[in-house]
Amino acid sequence: MRGKVKRCWALFLLALLFGIFCRMPQVEAGNDYEVLWHETYTFGSTSGGSLVDVTPDGEIIVAGHTYFDWWHSNFLIFKTDENGTLKWNRTLTYSDVAYAVKVLPNGDTLAVGYSYAFMGLYPDSLTISRFDSEGNDLEHYYYSVPDANVVLDAIITPSEDVIVVGKIQTYGGKELPEEDVWVLKLDKNASVKLNKTYDISQNDEAWAVAMASNGDIIVAGDSGNDYAKDFLVLRLDENGNLKWQKTFDKNNEDIAYAVAVAPNGDIVVAGQTENGEYNDAWVIRLDSNGNIIWQKQFGGSGEDGVNSITVLSDGGIVLVGYTNSFGASNMDAWVLVLDSSGNVKWNYIYDGGSYDAAHSVDVVPNGNIVVAGWSGGDILLMAIKIPEPQFGPILPITGNPYILMAHTWTSWFFMYYDIFEELYSTAVSLDVDNETLEMALELHNNATDLILDAWRCDSLEEILRRMQLGVMPKLYNIRKAFLMELEAIDILKDAINELQLY
């Protein structure tokens, strides 16, 4: 670390001498989102229900289902290269649909599917399958799902546990059953580690699940009755103990279908809210304690909905789903990108000529995103280029060494901020331990808070404007933020190097 700081001081002195006599312009970056490519894939008479995950080298794994006859579907999994060229595909006879897929650090893929009961010969079952990098089925396990339970979503954790959420019907002596939230955790061999239900109101459903960096389970869905439903969010510890529960009411029928956890621990929940004859997308950003930071409604004259969320390392939010507004024909796939404050940065509609929808989204190691869904009877896959962060060195026309020093350190902070984001994504994909990730992320977040305080800003973008206006910041906090960001990067580099050595 000391060697790095000495090198930075040498660079600073050069920048200081140069900046006294001339101006170093801001580095402009591309500001346009761009669909790099989109492909559709057909494996049977009809295919769909796509889930997506990306390997560390940018290859793409997609899971879903396909019909080879009119009455029965098969679990489908396939792999493409980074440009969407198909490398292999497999269908499973022992599973019908996909619920989760995850690429493991050793190159294997773990997938969660569901097998429906058949004429009383066998019950409904969750299936957990492991594939090698060439798509060979290495092993699979079953968990029999009771008749009263309904699976609605699943995720695979870094430790290869499977967390399943949905609902369970309970009668309790009443004529009509009530529904309670159901949470199930299995290990990779389908042995039960957690099986709990949660009764919040008359009817409660869990439509989505995510995991926080400390292992907490975040569940989203709805709570209410046949006449009024509210967004429901639960935070559980890793053993299923309830830490807090929240409901959020906007209109008569509010249902959360997607949830994600931001790098800083914020929780983003999205779904639908009633808007007259049709539904709009409704998005809420919460802090780690479930308090609302902001909430936004998005929609038009038709039916609009969200199926999946991912949160980018800068706090930006990518929502994917479907829309019948904004000039859409029939129903089109919808990609909506928001900044960390919920403002729209990009609104993209894909029209394949039939019923189209986006179902899943993931971030590629280079920072771009991949979206999977369906188009008509085919599986849809598209890659989208995310603009480079527009942070670059801005040095003022001034001989004031204080301001020049502040601008130089701030510019270096921005550079290392971007490096941290890339390293953090790599560390997560390599399953670096949670303690190390939390330590690095805490330093990164504290550094960001320090530099925002130094410039008296609410966003990094606003700092750039203040630099151009010649605002006088708190120099000590800028230097401290810069050094703190370097320390966070060193922690991630050491952890990544250690994993790669073994």
- The pLDDT, as a whole number, for residue 338 is 94
- The pLDDT, as a whole number, for residue 353 is 82
Cβ(370)–Cβ(38) below 8 Å: no
d(CA 493, CA 501): 12
pLDDT, tens digit, 9 for 90 and up, residues 160-185: 999 999 999 876 656 667 899 999 99
Q: Look-up: residue for tokens 């289902």?
A: 65
- The pLDDT, as a whole number, for residue 153 is 96
Q: Which long-range contacts (CB under 8 A, 24 or more apart) does 130-137 make?
A: 130/188, 131/77, 131/90, 132/107, 132/108, 133/107, 133/108, 133/109, 134/88, 135/77, 135/78, 135/79, 135/88, 135/89, 135/90, 137/90, 137/92
Q: Which CATH class is domain 29-385?
A: mainly beta
d(CA 81, CA 300): 36
User: Residue 269: which residues within 8 A CB-CB, separation 6 or more?
Assistant: 220, 231, 233, 248, 256, 258, 259, 283, 284, 286
Query: Which two structure tokens, joined as six digits, stand for 328?
Result: 């859409």
Predicted TM-score (pTM) of this structure: 0.74
Cβ(167)–Cβ(186) below 8 Å: no
- The pLDDT, as a whole number, for residue 334 is 95
Q: Look-up: residue for tokens 């997938």?
A: 111
- The pLDDT, as a whole number, for residue 350 is 94
3 state SS of 419: helix
- The pLDDT, as a whole number, for residue 261 is 92
- The pLDDT, as a whole number, for residue 31 is 55
Element (H, E) at 408: helix 401-429
- The pLDDT, as a whole number, for residue 340 is 86
3 state SS of 452: helix
Q: Which CATH class is domain 401-501?
A: mainly alpha
Residue type, 49: G
DSSP secondary structure letter of residue 94: S
Q: Look-up: residue for tokens 């649909």?
A: 97
- The pLDDT, as a whole number, for residue 13 is 41
Q: What does the CA dihedral 488, 490, 491, 492 come to, rounded to 10 degrees?
A: 90
- Which residues, given as ranges, of the chain have pLDDT below 70? 1-31, 45-46, 48, 68-71, 119-120, 171-176, 389-403, 465, 468-471, 500-502
Query: Which two structure tokens, joined as six digits, stand for 278?
Result: 């049709």
Domain spans in the chain, listed from the N-terminal domain onward? 29-385, 401-501
